[in-house]
């Protein structure tokens, strides 16, 4: 039934796209935005781009003198990043190439025809008056059964039967919740699914990432203790499954957090820990810096790449713009949530590799598999200023071109 629904949606959106393209030829079209952003940027390195400016002697960069034209490179980069930097655009919804008949739409859309407007109005009626009540009902059923089921299972003594029932309750309830989002999920390479005693790391787009992954297996969650409805869920599910919840005061103690995680993965009978190392939601166009803490505690890492199809609905949670209730309402009034999940081969820390290098290797593998841009920037820049160390890296890179690497290393001193 889901496949039929998705096929009908695809045909409808294809027709709408063709109709929009035809309408834009008949009237003055608005200037279109580049698929990669407002402006086109050069992908070359600092040395390559400055070399183009120094046309008279581009080969004399390693130990060359400063030339005034170098300043144009930094002015150009500065203006580019003021207009559109690599980081800020990752915290806003991805711009679609064509309208998907949702209220939140392509910025370039304008009125095309009465027929298309009628189709959009019919879509609003279907999404808000038919699908939304059904989806809310399914979500309430799924969450209610999750609370009741885990409390009842938690009353049983520890045994294999209790573990089996706990897994059954979790998977069943999460699948009901996924139906409440009309989620269509395709899992690839299931032979690489995370195993007990391991750590599952994935790119993070939305709170529903947990629901997407838990449809195909059970995980031990890691997070801070909350109040309200979230607190009720946390207290109920921890009765039947050893999730790792921290008090606010504990979250600031890295050693306490690391110790509890190490103790968990040391027990090979416990479920794999699910962690999102980016620490914040990214708009599913890229993968940003992984925090090294998850890669310092040892154990086997099971990378997972999650890629949503924005054509049917925007899964990205912009927490600065929408609260949780508003976000869930947007999800439940979308056409559907369609995504692909790839289980990558397990990875372990290599000899001579530190936690940061290991984290970057895992991040690159996830980005490559999911077709995402691999960025080295910290997702914490969503709320914080750029660290001084990052500025110093650019300064050292330029000084090595001007003065020479030997002088730069001598001035920095031994590590």
Per-residue tens of pLDDT for the chain, all 415 residues: 667 888 888 888 777 777 776 765 655 544 444 444 555 666 667 777 776 766 655 544 444 566 777 777 778 777 776 666 667 777 777 766 666 777 554 555 555 677 878 888 888 899 999 999 999 999 999 999 999 999 999 999 988 899 999 999 999 999 999 999 999 999 999 999 999 989 999 999 998 999 999 999 999 988 777 777 777 888 888 888 888 887 766 666 677 778 888 888 988 888 999 999 998 889 889 999 998 888 988 889 999 999 999 888 888 988 888 888 889 898 999 999 999 999 999 999 998 899 999 999 999 999 999 999 998 888 776 666 766 776 777 777 777 777 754 434 444 444 3
* Residues 19-43 as b or e (16 or more Cβ within 10 Å = b): bbeeebeeeeeeeeeeeeeeeeeee
Per-residue model confidence (pLDDT) at position 410: 41
Residue 62 has a pLDDT of 45
> DSSP of 118-186, one letter per residue?
HHHHHHHHIIIIIIHHHHHHHHHHHHHHHHHHHHHHHTSPSSHHHHHHHHHHHHHHHHHHHHTTTEEEE
Q: What are phi and psi of 405, to 5 degrees?
A: -65, -30
Q: What string of DSSP letters covers 352-399?
A: T--HHHHHHHHHHHHHHHHT-EE--S-GGGGTSPPPHHHHHHHHHHHH
Q: CA–CA separation, 3 vs 8, rounded Å?
A: 9
Which residues have CB under 8 Å from 332's CB, separation 6+? 131, 132, 135, 136, 139, 180, 181
> Which residues partner with 276 through β-bridges?
none
Question: What pLDDT score was predicted for residue 231?
Answer: 79
What strands lie across the sheet with 199-202, from one edge to the other? 183-188, 337-343, 301-308, 199-202, 273-275, 220-224, 244-246
Distance CA 314, CA 16 (A): 18
CA end-to-end distance (rounded Å), the chain: 61
Predicted TM-score (pTM) of this structure: 0.79
Token pair for 241: 């499954």
Q: What is the DSSP letter of 347?
A: B
DSSP characters over 274-287: EE-TT-S---SSEE
Instruction: Report the alpha-carbon distance of residue 366 to residue 379 in Å, rounded.
Output: 16
Q: Which two tokens stand for residue 245?
A: 């919840």
DSSP 299: S
Q: Which tokens sit at 413? A: 């001193």
Distance CA 77, CA 93 (A): 24
Is 234 within 8 Å of 243 (Cβ atoms)? yes
Q: How far is residue 50's CA from residue 128's CA, in Å, rounded to a whole number? A: 55
Round to whole Å and give the CA distance between 214 and 239.
Answer: 18
Q: What angle do CA 205, 317, 366 make, to 5 degrees?
A: 10
Q: Identify the helix (H) or strand (E) that includes residue 298.
A: none
pLDDT for residue 276: 93
């Amino acid at each position: 039934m889901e496949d039929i629904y998705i096929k009908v949606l695809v045909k409808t959106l294809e027709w709408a796209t063709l109709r929009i393209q035809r309408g834009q030829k008949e009237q003055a079209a608005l200037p279109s935005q580049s698929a990669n952003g407002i402006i086109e940027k050069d992908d070359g390195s600092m040395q390559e781009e400055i070399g183009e400016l120094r046309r008279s002697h581009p080969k004399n960069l390693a130990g060359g003198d400063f030339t005034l034209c170098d300043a144009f490179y930094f002015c150009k980069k500065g203006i580019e990043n003021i207009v559109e930097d690599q980081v800020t655009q990752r915290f806003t919804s991805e711009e679609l190439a064509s309208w998907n008949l949702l209220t939140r739409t392509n910025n370039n859309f304008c009125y095309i025809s009465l027929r298309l407007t009628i189709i959009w109005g019919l879509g609003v009626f279907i999404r808000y008056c038919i699908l939304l009540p059904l989806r809310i009902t399914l979500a309430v059923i799924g969450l209610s059964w999750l609370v009741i089921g885990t409390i009842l299972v938690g009353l049983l003594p520890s045994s294999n039967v209790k573990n089996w029932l706990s897994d059954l309750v979790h998977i069943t309830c999460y699948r009901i919740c996924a139906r409440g989002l009309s989620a269509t999920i395709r899992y690839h390479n299931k032979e690489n699914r995370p195993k007990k005693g391991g750590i599952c790391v994935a790119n993070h787009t939305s709170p529903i990432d947990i629901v997407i992954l838990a449809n195909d297996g059970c995980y031990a969650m890691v997070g801070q203790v909350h109040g309200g409805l979230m607190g009720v869920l946390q207290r109920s599910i921890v009765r039947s499954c050893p999730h790792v919840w921290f008090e606010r005061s504990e979250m600031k103690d890295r050693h306490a957090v690391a110790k509890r995680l190490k103790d968990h993965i040391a027990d090979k009978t416990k479920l794999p820990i699910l962690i999102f190392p980016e620490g914040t939601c990214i708009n599913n166009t890229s993968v940003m810096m992984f925090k090294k803490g998850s890669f310092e505690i040892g154990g086997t890492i099971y990378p997972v790449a999650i890629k949503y199809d924005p054509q049917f609905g925007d899964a990205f949670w912009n927490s600065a713009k929408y609260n949780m209730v508003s976000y869930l309402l947007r999800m439940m009034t979308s056409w559907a949530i369609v995504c692909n999940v790839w289980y990558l081969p397990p990875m372990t820390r290599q000899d001579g590799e530190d936690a940061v290098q290991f984290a970057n290797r895992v991040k690159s593998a996830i980005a490559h598999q999911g077709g995402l841009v691999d960025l080295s920037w910290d997702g914490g820049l969503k709320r914080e200023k750029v660290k001084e160390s990052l500025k110093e890296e650019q300064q050292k890179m330029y000084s090595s071109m001007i003065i020479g690497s030997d002088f730069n290393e001598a001035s920095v001193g031994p590590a």
